[in-house]
Amino acid sequence: MCGIVCYFANRPFKANLINALNKLSHRGPDHSGVEFFNNGKIGIGHSRLSIVDLSGGNQPISNEDKDIFVVVNGELYDYQKIKISLIKKGYKF
């Protein structure tokens, strides 16, 4: 099972999110990643346990413009069909 953290603050303090993510490393020992926004006042992080996609799937995930980010926990069912549908619409992976 993966771990997800987020951080909102009045001032930049990235170490808080990193420390929280480190505490969740046992939930997702295969990879961890973070993204910070609003000059470090907002952050999201993900600790990953690889089950289905062992070589990819690291998070946070962004769109191609890198202006939308998300972290998710769990499996997206029918992801192969969804991916094909999105590629046909012009999305890039």
Q: Nearest 5°: CA angle at 10, between 5 and 15?
A: 45
Q: Are 23 and 32 in contact (CB under 8 A)?
A: no
Given CA atoms 70, 60, 11, 24 in this order, what sign does their dihedral have? Answer: positive
Given the residues 2, 4, 21, 71, the one annotated as active site: 2
Our separate counts of H helices and E strands in the chain read 2, 5
Task: Answer yes or no: 2 catalytic.
Answer: yes
Q: Tokens representing 8?
A: 């909102």
Residues belonging to the active site: 2
